[in-house]
Amino acid sequence: MAVDITNPRAGSERHAGAADPDERGAASARPVSGQDLALLPAAEALSRRDAGAVLVDVRGPAEFAAGHVRGAVSIGLQGRFEECAGAVLPLDRDIVLVGDVQLAAEAAARLGDAGFDRVVGQLDDLAWVLTAGPSVAEAISRLSIEQLAELVRLEPALQLVDVRTPEETAWGTLPGAREVPLAILTKLPGALDRSAPVLVYSARGYRSMVAASVLQAAGFGDVADLADGYRAWEGAGLRVVQAAAPETAAAPEVGARAAAALVDAGALLLDVREPGEWPAGHVAQAFLLPMGQVARHRGDLPRDRRIVVVCRSGGRSAAVAEALRVWGFDAVNLSGGMTAWGLAGLPMVTTGPGSAGLVVHGTHPLNCETSIPALIGGVVMPNARFYVRNHFDTPRLDPVSWRLEVTGLVERPLRVSLRDLHSMRSETLVATLECAGNGRSGFDPPAEGEQWQLGAVSTAEWTGVPLAEVLDRAGLRPDAVEVVFRGADRGNAEDAAHPIRFERSLPVTDADQSWSLLAYAMNGEPLPLEHGYPLRLIVPGWYAVASVKWLTEIEIIGSPFMGFFQTQRYVYEYRRNGIVTREPVRLQQVRAVITQPSAGQEVAAGHLVVRGVAWSGAAPIDKVEVSIGGGPWQNARLIGQPHRHSWQWWELLTRIDDPGQTTLRARATDLAGRTQPERPRWNRLGYGGNAVQTVPLLIR
């Protein structure tokens, strides 16, 4: 049976809302001002459709998909209008336009130029029709590439249709796609099975919505289109099929328990779901890298480890694993995804609503920052969303055999087990940790190092033994000058002649009086591996480089420590009058971050709530000010009591009534009198960049 854009029920029934002359359809047609095109009441437009007229909706694909008159065909005025009209519209039928009344004259004129001279009018009140119920209005699903990857896996009867031209498809098609160019879609008898689902795609999603609407109008009951088309799939690095290219084998698949065994043996578990899916459950060791970001971050993935790819049910992960293997990675797909993992009774972490996961900068070593939306929350950051900063690969330490050695200029050298620490006096401290390079991406000219945005900061509740307690037990000698902390992580560092360990020091006075903790718990749970298990140092108020992870040694020395991460890195390096000077990175700079609304967000004119966090290593926050559109600074309200060592939530209730582009800016001042600068103080390694944040906003 040929695909026919005529409503298959034409003439067989009267439309709800058009039967009663006392309802909206009772009025007679009236001309559009300034032209001969009539505005048709809903009843008349629907009656003409049932008699064989074609309803042509000239809105964009997204608007059409969200809701349209049942039986209408989508040909957006802003796209390839004449070309698509010529491909799908019959010349011998009346046409009723649907959409913006103000564009009716342009649409009719362009149709006339293309040879369609039977435009009889424009639907008068589309808004009423769209709210009149499912017998009058309908919608079309628009799928993302992530949803398509899952659907292909779950629906074996899916008919995937590529409506691009042969010249376009010669460069590649989606696996399993059937090529049916738009120009012949309405003319190909029996091309598709009406009883099976259909998903249509084009280059970017315009022609595919035309095709999907044609099929829906012809009576296909399960039709969708790919929102961003072939370009999105190809841009994500996913496999495409070319006629002359050899067939690529599917990625190997493993079950949930086999996947767990691989992860325990050192494989990387790559979760390619979206951040919003993590709260329902994820594996603690997993790294979140959404499917659409894998291609541009593949350079950060390890080539010396197997990668187990997981998603919700196995569709997205299969596509990603296949792509990774093409790029030379040893990747396998977790069959059944997190659904299978859960059914196997394997452990999962749930993080509560609103989790947005981590933004991965690198995986070898692991470096992730918390996304700005994920900073929205309470006093502490859930462990799964706490930013991660590493310099070397993560060491795995046996908690039973692990010991902390305290040596050097002490009266009583110590060798302490984890059990010994748990038996000592403990304290709990809420402290904000921030990478010294947080905000480095804002330096101009660019500074060396990881290009952190503003999310290399998080707050947690840390529990452990006060550092002063352990130092007192060891007994510092009078000639002690500095305390050196050594982690178990080691490796090669730029400018270092040999492999080195991560080491940092504190002056004795700071170590004894800084509220520092030897922490073994984070937010009430044992330290996660990526945050220093089984023990780490926490130095509140200082940049987090001082808070050494995977701590194994404390040595007291009689002179300033000259280690690589003490003197070659984590120093402010300036050139003044031709002379290079270095100052140590110590206390966190004062900073405010806007967490709501997010950058680029569209918000309605009127009342607006601006929220965020602020912190400083020198003193509690005194005030936060917000400027809107470059206007005067307004004082925000600090939420709760001032915090000495952790961030301060704040909010501003305001109004923005004028539509258009604007900006939000926030600056903090602490009780020590330090205020954020307009521009960061440039230094070669990009530390301490705390310039005022600017968030663009669109008011509508």
Per CATH, domain 141-235 is 3.40.250.10: yes
Strands (E), 492-647: 500-507, 517-522, 525-526, 536-538, 551-557, 571-576, 579-584, 591-596, 602-603, 606-615, 621-628, 633-635, 637-639
Average pLDDT of the segment spanning 649-677 = 93
* pLDDT band at residue 1 using 50, 70 and 90 as cut-offs: very low
Q: What is the pLDDT of residue 475?
A: 96
Q: Give the pLDDT score at 24.
A: 34
State mean pLDDT over 158-173: 94
178-185 LR contacts (CB < 8 Å, sep 24+): 182/84, 182/87, 182/88, 182/207, 182/210, 182/211, 183/87, 185/3, 185/87, 185/88, 185/161, 185/211, 185/214, 185/215
Q: Please compute the mean of the pLDDT values over residues 230-238 and round it to a whole number.
A: 92
> What's the rounded mean pLDDT across residues 595-609?
87
Q: Which residues contact 124 (CB under 8 A, 6 or more apart)?
A: 30, 39, 40, 41, 42, 45, 101
As a whole number, mean pLDDT of residues 202-228 equals: 94
What is the DSSP-derived secondary structure letter of residue 173?
B
Q: Where in the chain is the domain with CATH 3.90.420.10?
A: 404-584
Q: What's the mean pLDDT in 208-231? A: 94
Query: Measured between alpha carbons, how far is 125 from 136 in angstroms, rounded to an integer?
Result: 13
Tokens of 432: 């904000």
Q: What is the pLDDT of residue 282?
A: 79
What is the SS3 assignment for 349-400?
Answer: ECCCCCCCCEEEEEECCEEEEECHHHHCCCCCCCHHHCCEECCCCCCCCCCC
Q: Does 21 have pLDDT greater than 60?
A: no
Residue 333 phi/psi, 5-degree rounding, is -105, 135
Assess whether pLDDT exceeds 70 at residue 636.
Answer: yes
Question: pLDDT tens for residues 301-335?
Answer: 778 789 999 999 999 999 999 999 999 999 999 99
Query: Over the Cα atoms of the chain, what is R_g?
Result: 31
Per-residue pLDDT for 524 more than 90? Answer: no
Mean pLDDT (whole number) for 600-612? 88
Confidence of residue 32 (pLDDT cuts 50, 70, 90): very low
Nearest to 224, CA basis, from 236, 234, 216: 216
Given a cut of 90, whether residue 293 has pLDDT beyond it is no
Model pLDDT, residue 244 = 63
Q: Which CATH architecture is the domain 404-584 placed in?
A: Alpha-Beta Complex (3.90)
Which is more confidently placed, 640 or 657? 657
Angstrom distances, CA of residue 236 to CA of 145, 179, 251, 369, 412: 9, 21, 17, 22, 59
86-124 pLDDT, tens digit each: 999 999 999 999 998 778 889 999 999 999 999 999 998
Half-sphere CA count of 98, side-chain side, radius 13 A: 29
Looking at residue 104, its pLDDT comes to 84
223: helix, strand or coil: strand
Residue 11 has pLDDT above 80, yes or no: no
Residues 55-69: tens digit of each pLDDT:
999 999 999 999 999
Rounded-to-integer distance, Cα 357 and Cα 375, Å? 10
Q: What class, spelled out in words, does domain 591-699 have in CATH?
A: mainly beta
pLDDT at residue number 101: 79
pLDDT in tens, 535-562: 999 999 999 999 999 999 999 999 999 9
pTM assigned to the model: 0.53
Fold of 24-138: Oxidized Rhodanese; domain 1 (3.40.250)
d(CA 371, CA 362): 15
Q: What is the pLDDT of residue 285?
A: 65
Q: Answer whether residue 437 shows pLDDT above 90.
A: yes
pLDDT in tens, 395-426: 999 999 999 999 999 999 999 999 999 999 99
Residues spanned by CATH 2.60.40.650 within the chain? 591-699
634 has a pLDDT exceeding 60: yes
> Mean pLDDT score of the chain, rounded to an integer?
87
Domain at 253-355, CATH from 3.20.20.220, 3.30.1330.60, 3.40.250.10, 3.30.1490.20: 3.40.250.10
**Residue 20: pLDDT above 50?**
no
For the cut 60, the answer to whether the pLDDT of residue 151 exceeds it is: yes
**What pLDDT score was predicted for residue 505?**
97
Task: Note the pLDDT of residue 250.
Answer: 83
What is the percentage of the chain residues whose pLDDT exceeds 70?
Answer: 91
Could you tell me the two tokens for 317? Answer: 């992960």
Q: What's residue 247's pLDDT?
A: 67
CATH 3.40.250.10 domain span(s) along the chain: 24-138, 141-235, 253-355
- Cα 641 from Cα 557, distance rounded (Å): 39
Q: Which amino acid is at 560?
A: P
Contact call for residues 195 and 215 (beta carbons, < 8 A): no
Calpha distance 465→335 (Å, rounded): 44
Judged against a pLDDT cut of 50, whether residue 640 lies above it is answered with yes
Question: CB of 159 within 8 A of CB of 193?
Answer: yes
- What's the Cα-to-Cα distance from 464 to each of 351, 469, 609, rounded to whole Å? 23, 11, 38
Q: Which of 12-16, 204-208, 255-259 has the lowest mean pLDDT?
A: 12-16
What percentage of the chain carries pLDDT values higher than 90?
65
